[in-house]
Amino acid sequence: MIDSQKHLFSLPDSVTYLNGAYMSPQLKSVETIGVECLKKKSLPYTIAPEDFFSQRTILKKRFAKLIDAPDYQNIAIIPSASYGIANVANNVKLKSGDEIILVDEQFPSNVYEWKKIAKKQQAIIKIVKPPTGFKNRGKGWNEAILNEINPKTAVVAMPHVHWADGTLFDLMSIREKTRQVQSLLVIDGTQSVGALPFSVKEIQPDALVCAGYKWLMGPYSLGVAYYNDSFNDGEPIENNWVSRLHSEDFTQLTQYNDAYQPKADKYSMGESSNFIMVPMLIKAIEQLLEWQPKNIQEYCEEISTSAIEQLRAKNYFIEDDAYRANHLFGVYLPNDIDMKTIKQQLMERNIYVSYRGKAIRVASNLYNTKADFDAFLACF
């Protein structure tokens, strides 16, 4: 099993950071690349025309490898998850009465755009809630999603793991059901890709969008998305020069071209050549490729198991292991335990977590150790 990688980060020993789902700490190597690239703008003559394209291609290739996508040209560079979802929604044609399935309390970036398009095209939003009790909660939630998919379903838009408590969704089974009714499967991978294995070849989603500043360990305001070939003839939400065919030839830019670059590149944002953040995200993904998400899952399981077992023994609810991720899980308090007291304990000990809905959200990575979970456990 991989060892702790805390030495590759700048986290102080006085802080217990169990909050990677909020924002990842920055790798020292990514920081170094960022500083080096920031200085380039001081000497703009060192930035050549080919630099507008070369790093973009590298980023798309690295991300395609991370998600096991056969063709890097199906990758687009986006500023946010909401931008990536908007590209999808802009190309979905719905009929009155068609249904869009969402899971309960999903992150807003994969909700607002669907509400907008549903209203515009007279479609229906269906929210699938978890069971009211904790018994078999994850299993029951997955079954409810599968049962909701029907011939009227046009889109299923959901995460791989729930952002609030790490509930794991069975995307393989959901993909099979959506295929039977010919509906789209659109995945928000922001809270999973990078720490949890994801294979485009296996799951075959229609689209996958990821903000880059969480589990991809990149900078804020840059992300990546996968769009399958069904989007090749679609329309992007903006018109920028770099996405147009032959834009590499600066002498011909005013010979306005109606054609786009191949496949998903038309969905990349304007100024996606970002000379600072693109190299930073490349470096971060290269580190993830070296570590491998499956090893991150194994490591997070190893360091958290004892604390989880002891919390369960004290009547705190944490989702069954088969229906949650190892890098991200929620702790639900018994009715007789005051959340404010727990928050105060965590704050006094410099332990950083998040509070989402009724859960304490705990999110670990290779910069954490078993000692971090021991410190967390002591607050209960």
Q: Are residues 192 and 282 in the same domain?
A: yes
pLDDT at 357 over 90: no
State mean pLDDT over 61-75. Answer: 98
Identify the band that residue 1 occupies on the pLDDT scale cut at 50, 70 and 90.
confident
Residues 151 and 222 in one domain: yes
Distance CA 304, CA 312 (A): 12
Region 317-335 average pLDDT: 97
- Look at strands 207-211 and 184-188 and give their pairing: parallel
The reply to whether 140 and 169 lie within a common domain is: yes
Confidence of residue 159 (pLDDT cuts 50, 70, 90): very high
**Per-residue pLDDT at 234:** 97
> Alpha-carbon distance 66 to 261, whole Å?
23
Asked if residue 35 belongs to a domain, the reply is no
CATH for 166? 3.40.640.10
Summarize the confidence of residues 82-97 as an average pLDDT.
97
DSSP codes of every residue in 341-370: HHHHHHHHTTEE-EEETTEEEEE--TT--H
- Where a domain ends, among 290, 317, 333? 290
Answer yes or no: do 229 and 156 share one domain: yes
Count the alpha carbons within 13 Å of 99 in the hemisphere toward its beta carbon.
17
Rounded to whole angstroms, the Cα distance separating 36 from 159 reads 35
Confirm whether 266 is domain-assigned: yes
Is residue 110 domain-shared with residue 169, that is, in the same domain?
Answer: yes
Task: Write out pLDDT tens, residues 98-148.
Answer: 999 999 999 999 999 999 999 999 999 999 999 999 999 999 999 999 999
Residues 139 and 247 in one domain: yes
Task: Dump pLDDT digits (tens) for 171-191.
Answer: 999 999 999 999 999 999 999
**pLDDT at position 112:** 97
Mean pLDDT of 340-366: 95
> Quick one: 325 exposed, middle or buried, by C-beta within 10 A (0-12, 13-18, 19+)?
buried
Burial state string for 245-264 with b = 16 or more CB within 10 A and e = fewer than 16: eebeeeeeeeeeeeebbebb
Residues 287, 291, 297, 300, CA torsion sign: negative
- Looking at the structure, tell me whether residues 213 and 84 fall in a common domain: yes
DSSP, collapsed to helix, strand or coil, labels residue 9 as strand
Q: Which whole-number Å values give the CA distances from 241 to 45, 60, 265, 274, 333, in the listed order?
A: 21, 18, 11, 14, 52
Q: What is the average per-residue pLDDT within 32-46?
A: 96
> With b meaning 16 or more CB within 10 Å and e meaning fewer, what string describes 205-218?
bbbbbbbbbbbbbb
Burial of 182 (0-12, 13-18, 19+ CB in 10 A): exposed
Question: 298 and 280 in one domain?
Answer: no
CB 213 within 8 A of CB 191: no
* Whole-angstrom Cα Rg for the chain: 22
How far from 339 is each of 175, 312, 334, 344, 380, CA to CA, in Å?
38, 17, 10, 9, 10
Mind giving me the DSSP string for 67-116?
TT-S-GGGEEEES-HHHHHHHHHTT----TT-EEEEETT--GGGTHHHHH
Residues 82, 227: one domain? Answer: yes
Residue 45's pLDDT band (cuts 50, 70, 90): very high
Let me know if residue 36 belongs to a domain: no
If one counts the domains in the chain, the total is 2
How would you class 244 by CB atoms within 10 Å of its CB: exposed for 0-12, middle for 13-18, buried for 19 or more?
middle
SS3 state at 159: strand
CA angle 238, 55, 71 (to 5 degrees): 75
Q: What is the mean pLDDT of residues 359-371?
A: 97
**102 and 249 together in one domain:** yes
9: its two tokens: 């980060």
Quick one: pLDDT at residue 358? 86
- Among the candidates 290, 310, 328, a domain finishes at 290
Q: Containing domain of residue 10, as a range?
A: 6-26+292-378
Percent of the chain with pLDDT over 90: 98
Does the residue 39 lie in any domain? no
In terms of domains, do 276 and 302 share one?
Answer: no
**248: in domain:** yes
**Contact call for residues 277 and 270 (beta carbons, < 8 A):** no
Q: Residue 359 belongs to a domain with what CATH number?
A: 3.90.1150.10
Residue 287: predicted pLDDT: 98
On whether both 244 and 296 belong to a single domain, the answer is: no
Report if residue 37 sits inside a domain: no
- Stretch 194-207: mean pLDDT, rounded? 98
- Token representation of residue 316: 């705190």
Task: Assess if residue 192 is contained within a domain.
Answer: yes
Cα–Cα distance for residue pair 74/69, rounded to 1 Å: 8
Residue 155 in any domain: the answer is yes
Is residue 170 helix, strand or coil?
coil
> Of 249, 265, 290, which closes a domain?
290
By C-alpha distance, which of 139, 142, 151 is closest to 179?
151
